[in-house]
Chains A and B, each alone.
Chain A
Amino acid sequence: MAVLLWLTVGLPLLGALLVKAAPSRARPLTVAAAVASAVPPVVLLVAAADGRRATSGFRWLPTAGLDVGLRLDALSAAVSATVAGIGLVVLLYSVGYFADDDRRASALAGLLGFLAVMQGLVLADGYLALLVFWELVGAASARLIAYSRDDPQAAPGAVRAFLTTRSADVGFYVALLALFSATGSIAFGQGRPGGAVGALVGIGLVVAAMGKSAQAPLQTWLSGAMAGPTPVSALLHSATMVAAGVYLLVRSESLLAGWPLDVAGWVGAVTAVAAAGIALAQRDLKRVLAGSTASQLGLMFVGAAAGGPAVAVFHLVTHAAGKAGLFLAAGVFQHDRDSTDLDELRGAGRDDRRAFAGFALCALSIAAVPPLAAFWSKDHITAAAEPRTAWFVLVLLSAAGSAAYLLRPALILWDRGGAGRTLAAAGRRWMLAGVATLAAASVVAGVLGEPLVRLLQAPPLPTSALSIALSLVAPVVGALAVLLPLRPPRLLARAADRGLYAAALQRWVVVLPTLALSRWLRAADDHRLDRAVDAIPRPALALSLLLRGAEDRGLDRAVDAVAQGGVAAARGSDWVERRGIDAAVDGLAVAIGRSGSESRRLQSGRLYEYLRDAVLGATAIALIVALTALT
């Protein structure tokens, strides 16, 4: 088992090194490495399902307790397998995505390297190893975001991503220090120490998880990270790395039990709604998806806080498949239109129907349309949140939002108004295969709930009639909110007349009722109603615009302001540096020089003055001696 554990980390790493070493053979090497890397996690998963547990570590620092190692248990096996699966798909997709890129070796090696450290993070045994991989994952992420040399947003995005997550990592450090200081151990599964130290541990870990998972108010880095190549976004910023925060919460359940998890839940619930609003207002497809990711991760936080590990991990898995699929499909459109701007992408789905099919399937899954995968997992979260009304409301709002923000790009993609051009790109087959795989996964992953519960030996997943009902209603409301106000009735009618949506939507039973509803609303021709309905989304829209504005201006500016404040402070201290201390020292030198010049005046060259001064000096000495002798 130990060998398998290390292989899980080692194989992708080896692959990365090989690809880096032989860039001309990047493609075959990547494929081989990707496939090989997927094997050990699967074996591990089987073993874990079989009840096998293993750890393999060594003493990394001489002090007792500071070991570093990997472990196999149910949680790590499950997440590791997810990572491996998504990783495999994304890597194969990438082979196609980067087919025309002459620096593909770098990108592929980067992805493989990321896969290695991500597996390390998942399999890490103890908080020290977790921290090591946690930081490495962040660095790998920054490197991959900054991959593009043409996009002026890439470098700043990478920097912001790394800095934001690292700031949050201070929490991890502090938690680790506090934990070790209090218990002398950094092993998983400990209870939280009491007192202030325990509070530090709790807060620190939650903050770290928030940073990694882009939870409010630290979510801004995620949209900046979209400047990276799309496969990177798919792998890192939707499916795996950002889920590390959720993983940390689940992993640390025993440490965080109680108020820290409540805090996490609140953060998650708020983020779920806020990020949904942000997603709704983005004009860039990938940024929409980024907002959606943050929102879904918020749901996972709620799940972890309210429902326990199985709930969160279940959603993690289904979301990973769906969101990665969305990104991969977005990547296809991006290749088609050489952009991810929604205006540019208008009609791209119609031009590339296969990709759009995958996109739509995954979107429906994320939007929690039954019986697709994410419906089930999200339903459990909703059910788990039911006892806490506030969370419950927020979760439902976000569910509605998810339908809205996914429907909007879907509509645009399917619009006819687009340019209708498709760039012939190499490697399409790889890419479409990837999209297809994940779309399929999004359809079927819903069955994983029960096995997961058994694997994790968790209590049965919560569910309730109310939650199912409201879960069903929420997306519909969300979809309506999009369909009604954003389509002027005339346009909508024409679109309906032309069967604009029919071809697409008929295939998806879930959207049909929505469309029917919209038709009914139009048929009612009730201006008041129209207006009333119109009025509902308006505040939402305003809110989302506000949030986006906050995102772009407020929070970003706040972050920038902090940074600028730091820089200003730095400049200030630099000024102090140059003017203050240094000047003091230099001033001292000047003073010495000046007193030297003054002392030259004593040496006037006039002998009688010398003599007189000598006499006075001698007298002074005598007086001093007399004073000391007499006292």
Chain B
Amino acid sequence: MPWLSLAIAVPLLAAAACPLLPRRLAQAPRLLALAATAVSAAALAVTWARFDTGKGMQLVEHARWIPTLDVSWRVGVDGMSLALAALTVVLFVASILYGVGPRPLTRAAAGMLLLLEGATLAFFLAQDFVVFYVAFDVTLVAMYFLIALWGEEHRRYAALKFFLYTLIGSLPVLLGIIALYLTAEPHTFNMTRLAAEQPLAGSGLGASLVFLAFFIGFAIKTPIVPFHTWLPAAHVEAPTSGSVLLAGVLLKLGGYGLIRVNLQMLPDAFAKYALAVALLGLVSALYGALVALAQTDLKRLIAYTSVNHMGYVVIGVAAAAATGISQRGRELAIDGAVLQMVAHGLVTGTLFFIAGILKQRTGTRDLRQLSGLLRPMPVYGSLVALAFFASLGLPGLAQFPAELQIFLGTFDVWPAVAAVTVVGIVITAGLFLRALQRAFMGDVPDRLARLPDLARREAIAVAPLAVLFIVLGLYPRLVLDVIKSASWLVGG
């Protein structure tokens, strides 16, 4: 049974089926989306069970697509793919449960969600560069429509900006892919082979240019300062589920790409620029945190913390690429980076749900206009506090082990970078506590005094995420043993 292909294909087919659903059955799109996602989840669960943690790329499914160009439908998993694919499914379940735009889920919205889901899964599982790129761009289109159709006030502008930036990012990636394809003999888009053969190993300027092309693309997606300016606009204007998926899943495309392509296929070039990349990541981490500190809009604040958290990922990846790093440090850094992506997906997903609920209840996300929300909404408030503490890296919650591993790995090669990076955790702590203090503590004005607490539907969507990030925080090896970068990261 081609489980992986099944996991990708079912959402896509369901997306195609969405327009055909009868208009009368109002619940049908939602149920279809849930069913399709459930099938995906089941297929991934089977894969998880069959997965051999000791081996690298495995369970590869392969079908010829365009033999002329050596393009194949080639999907497979290694630790990173599996972990991120699982994250994807989890977040999509939550998003579908939460809904997009008008309720119940419309056919168009369900279709877009499913399209996005299929494409994202395809991206994480792809072992062929054309599939990889196709998935990369399809996510762009689906997300564009999600934002532009169901977003908030300035959705058009934000959607355009998102589209523009991501396209600017994706096209250099295409050039890079072509360059890799052309340098491999015989020409191939097979990522496994490209990673094994490393056709550009040791070649100077060419490798650097290709590296730069990929890096720009993934840096925009990740995003790394200064390529991040699309992110706040897109996050703020997107509908709640859109923000969740954008931050939870789509940002991971960049980090995944950095590891999968830049690190695995161009290690020599990466080693040359590792310190520069790490410094960019450091700037991202600190800058994101600082800018987040000044935000009064909760969604913008969360958006900028994404810049901060993804900056850690970049630092970890860069550290793993550096020449001086020990094997232990390398594994720590990459394990940490991947775990950070998973954890950030769960935590930030929760945070965006929180912001969405807040906006829905109070009509504003401006922290200056809110106060004392813990009183009318104690459960919600506790959830907020939990998610905030998770995001600021409190031990026992998922991001702590991830960040710690990244720091440990980075310290191995650049102690100064690691030491400065650690300062970021103070700033994030500050910004989250400020927000907490401002909006959730203190006196509650009358207009906020009667807000309803967390509704069942919302709780069902959010609770699994919270449970997951707590569990991961207590026992990160649940995922780390699967990620196990040692088994697939070729020694550099």
B392-447, CB < 8 A from A: 394-396, 400-401, 404-405, 407-408, 411-412, 415, 418-419, 422-423, 425-427, 429-430, 433-434, 436-437, 441-442
Contact pattern, A 32-61, Cβ under 8 Å of B = 1, otherwise 0: 000000000000000000000000000111
Say if the beta carbon of B226 comes within 8 Å of chain A: yes
Say if the beta carbon of A577 comes within 8 Å of chain B: yes
**Most chain B CB inside 10 Å of its own CB: which residue of A163, A170, A563, A577:** A577
Contact pattern, A 551-580, Cβ under 8 Å of B = 1, otherwise 0: 000000000000100110111011001000
Chain B binding surface, main DSSP class: helix
Known pairs A566-B430, A571-B294; list 12 more (Cβ under 8 Å).
A60-B401, A61-B404, A61-B477, A62-B484, A63-B335, A64-B328, A139-B389, A163-B433, A170-B425, A177-B411, A181-B411, A582-B229
B291 and A577 contact, CB distance less than 8 A: yes
A200 and B395 contact, CB distance less than 8 A: no
B395 and A131 contact, CB distance less than 8 A: yes
Bound-state Cα–Cα, A506 to B355, Å: 63
Partner of A200, one of B419, B429, B441: B419
Q: Which residue of A lies closest to B335 (CB)?
A: A62
A129-175, CB < 8 A from B: 131-133, 135-136, 139, 142-143, 146, 149, 152, 154-156, 158-159, 162-163, 166-167, 170, 173-174
**Most chain B CB inside 10 Å of its own CB: which residue of A66, A174, A571:** A174
A184 and B328 contact, CB distance less than 8 A: yes
Chain B residues with Cβ under 8 A from A59's Cβ?
A: 477
B480 and A62 contact, CB distance less than 8 A: yes
Nearest CB in chain A: distance from B80 CB, A? 14
Partner of B419, one of A64, A174, A184: A174
Say if the beta carbon of A523 comes within 8 Å of chain B: no
Nearest CB in chain A: distance from B134 CB, A? 26
Say if the beta carbon of A622 comes within 8 Å of chain B: no
Chain A residues with Cβ under 8 A from B395's Cβ?
A: 131-133, 135-136
Bound-state Cα–Cα, A196 to B411, Å: 13
Chain A residues with Cβ under 8 A from B405's Cβ?
A: 61, 63
Say if the beta carbon of B292 comes within 8 Å of chain A: yes
B268-296, CB < 8 A from A: 287, 290-295
Say if the beta carbon of A425 comes within 8 Å of chain B: no
A213-231, CB < 8 A from B: none
Q: Which residue of A lies closest to B405 (CB)?
A: A61
Chain B residues with Cβ under 8 A from A563's Cβ?
A: 430
Nearest CB in chain B: distance from A558 CB, A? 15
Say if the beta carbon of B332 comes within 8 Å of chain A: yes
Nearest CB in chain B: distance from A188 CB, A? 18
Say if the beta carbon of B316 comes within 8 Å of chain A: no
Chain A interface, number of residues (Cβ within 8 angstroms): 52
Chain A residues with Cβ under 8 A from B422's Cβ?
A: 170, 173-174, 177
Say if the beta carbon of A197 comes within 8 Å of chain B: yes
Chain B residues with Cβ under 8 A from A200's Cβ?
A: 415, 419
Bound-state Cα–Cα, A347 to B470, Å: 50
Bound-state Cα–Cα, A570 to B296, Å: 12
Contacts known (A136-B396, A581-B229); A166 close to B480, Cβ less than 8 A: no
Bound-state Cα–Cα, A143 to B382, Å: 11
Partner of A155, one of B328, B442, B484: B442
B407 and A570 contact, CB distance less than 8 A: no
B287 and A197 contact, CB distance less than 8 A: no
Say if the beta carbon of B481 comes within 8 Å of chain A: yes
Bound-state Cα–Cα, A423 to B407, Å: 54
B415 and A155 contact, CB distance less than 8 A: no
**Most chain B CB inside 10 Å of its own CB: which residue of A61, A155, A163, A585:** A61
Say if the beta carbon of A180 comes within 8 Å of chain B: yes
A139 and B480 contact, CB distance less than 8 A: no
Partner of B293, one of A143, A173, A570: A570
A149 and B480 contact, CB distance less than 8 A: no
Say if the beta carbon of A235 comes within 8 Å of chain B: no
Say if the beta carbon of B29 comes within 8 Å of chain A: no
| Interface size of B as a range | 35 or more
Bound-state Cα–Cα, A577 to B433, Å: 23
Chain A residues with Cβ under 8 A from B434's Cβ?
A: 159
A574 and B396 contact, CB distance less than 8 A: no
Chain B residues with Cβ under 8 A from A570's Cβ?
A: 290-294
Nearest CB in chain A: distance from B264 CB, A? 20
Bound-state Cα–Cα, A259 to B187, Å: 63
Contacts known (A60-B477, A581-B229); A142 close to B290, Cβ less than 8 A: no
> Which A residues fall within an 8 A CB radius of B?
59-64, 66, 128, 131-133, 135-136, 139, 142-143, 146, 149, 152, 154-156, 158-159, 162-163, 166-167, 170, 173-174, 177-178, 180-181, 184, 196-197, 200, 563, 566-567, 569-571, 573-574, 577, 581-582, 585, 589
Bound-state Cα–Cα, A585 to B220, Å: 13
Q: Which residue of B lies closest to A577 (CB)?
A: B291
Contacts known (A159-B437, A181-B415, A585-B229); A567 close to B294, Cβ less than 8 A: yes
A159 and B433 contact, CB distance less than 8 A: yes
Say if the beta carbon of B78 comes within 8 Å of chain A: no
Say if the beta carbon of B345 comes within 8 Å of chain A: no
Partner of A177, one of B335, B415, B425, B442: B415
Contact pattern, B 222-253, Cβ under 8 Å of A = 1, otherwise 0: 00001001001000000000000000000000
B437 and A163 contact, CB distance less than 8 A: no
B306-333, CB < 8 A from A: 328-329, 331-332
Chain A residues with Cβ under 8 A from B400's Cβ?
A: 132, 135
Bound-state Cα–Cα, A513 to B213, Å: 84
B429 and A162 contact, CB distance less than 8 A: yes
Say if the beta carbon of B375 comes within 8 Å of chain A: yes
A155 and B441 contact, CB distance less than 8 A: yes
Bound-state Cα–Cα, A569 to B425, Å: 17
Bound-state Cα–Cα, A589 to B396, Å: 46
Chain B residues with Cβ under 8 A from A158's Cβ?
A: 433, 437
Say if the beta carbon of B349 comes within 8 Å of chain A: no
B433 and A178 contact, CB distance less than 8 A: no
Say if the beta carbon of B76 comes within 8 Å of chain A: no
Say if the beta carbon of B476 comes within 8 Å of chain A: yes
B290 and A177 contact, CB distance less than 8 A: no
Bound-state Cα–Cα, A60 to B426, Å: 24
Contacts known (A61-B405, A577-B229); A566 close to B394, Cβ less than 8 A: no
Top 8 A-B pairs, shortest CB-CB distance: A570-B294, A155-B441, A132-B395, A570-B293, A177-B411, A570-B290, A571-B294, A159-B433
A574 and B295 contact, CB distance less than 8 A: yes
Q: Which residue of B lies closest to A131 (CB)?
A: B395
B293 and A566 contact, CB distance less than 8 A: yes
